[in-house]
Structure 1
Amino acid sequence: MPDKNASKRWTGQRRDLKLRRESWGFAVGSTLFALGAAPLYVSAVDARLDNTTYFIGSLFFTIAGFVQLRLSGRPVPNAESHKIEKYDWWAALVQFIGTLLFNVSTGAALIIGLTVDESRDWVWRPDILGSVGFLVSSALAVIATTETDKLWDPHARNWRSTWFNMLGSVAFGVSAGAAFVTPSGKLEDATVANMGTLIGAICFLVAALLMRAPRSKSA
């Protein structure tokens, strides 16, 4: 007779692989964003290569966000599953949309010769909207965490990751605000924009590496 427990273990292993792939996708994307904002890297390469680094990083964010969306809404043991699933799913959906907006923003930045208006419409605007999306997603994730674990509990499953994601989202929001394109074609505050991106990317990297798969009692 087929071993049902073996089948369950294989299903659980496949889910764990997807979760690890999700975390590594965010980790790679965060690393590339941090690299693109690092002062030494910025001074060592031209603007096009730097922008390409951001664009590739945004693609990893989108891939990881899609995996997370596919995995969201799964039952959480010993919790009000329906409510948690709802916040989990909305957090993943809003985050995924945010990654798509970053695709647009970083992709448009690769186009040479954009006017000020075009830069605002296709680079800055998707960037600020994507950052808002990440903030909303992080807030929803905080709500979901309060339903499963305490917000400040060393034994909780993902509370550290949740807060690092929130800090990263705030930093990205500050960066996007500072990246507003002035009439002269320059950023409102390039230093703050780069530092916000660097700090946010590091926070997202730490969050991705701290993320642990949920374990059921039967596992």
Structure 2
Amino acid sequence: MQDQTIGGYLDRLAAREPAPGGGAAAALHAAQGAALLAMVARYTTGEKYAAHAAQVAAITAAADELRLRALELAQEDARAFTAVTDAYKLPRAEAEQKAARSLAIADALAGAARPPADVIAVAARVVELAEELLPFGNPNVVTDIAAATEAARAAATTARVNVEINLGGIKDEAVRAELTAAIDGVDRLAARAHAVTEAVRKEITR
């Protein structure tokens, strides 16, 4: 997916195909948020920002890693959703086939819920880095910190519904509990992202 043109990706997203879908879109929101933060960090260098050099370097490295991880999750989501559609196509004419199909679907749904759950974790880290960078980030690109957190918020809220849609079909209670915990903090994350955006807006309109 990362080697496609933007136009090619959007064509696939718009097509009547099961993947890529909302899960991949959520991952790419997170990737964009991480990329924007890395850009702001790279503009926050030089003598003026020398006191924060180590912090900026760490933020840059972390943001770059998050961008790559989010791209991986976009790929993983597409593969996982394809596995779900394949599981639903399994034969069910006989009792044994029905049982095997049911188990395969449950396993596939659990697999499909994991990439978006991981996207939420990436988005949370993007917001955390934005909160860290905001107080001293280059004011000439401060709006991109807000853009990064808004992208992360979209990633998290979109990923949450992609976890929720799969929860009902997952039979393993431990897996259900793990995934439920992963989405539990999304509203708080969205509020933190909103707070960063509001701080940026206050800064640029005063």
Q: With structure 2 as the length reference, what TM-score do the two structures score? A: 0.46
Q: Which has the higher helix share?
A: 2
Q: With structure 1 as the length reference, what TM-score do the two structures score? A: 0.44
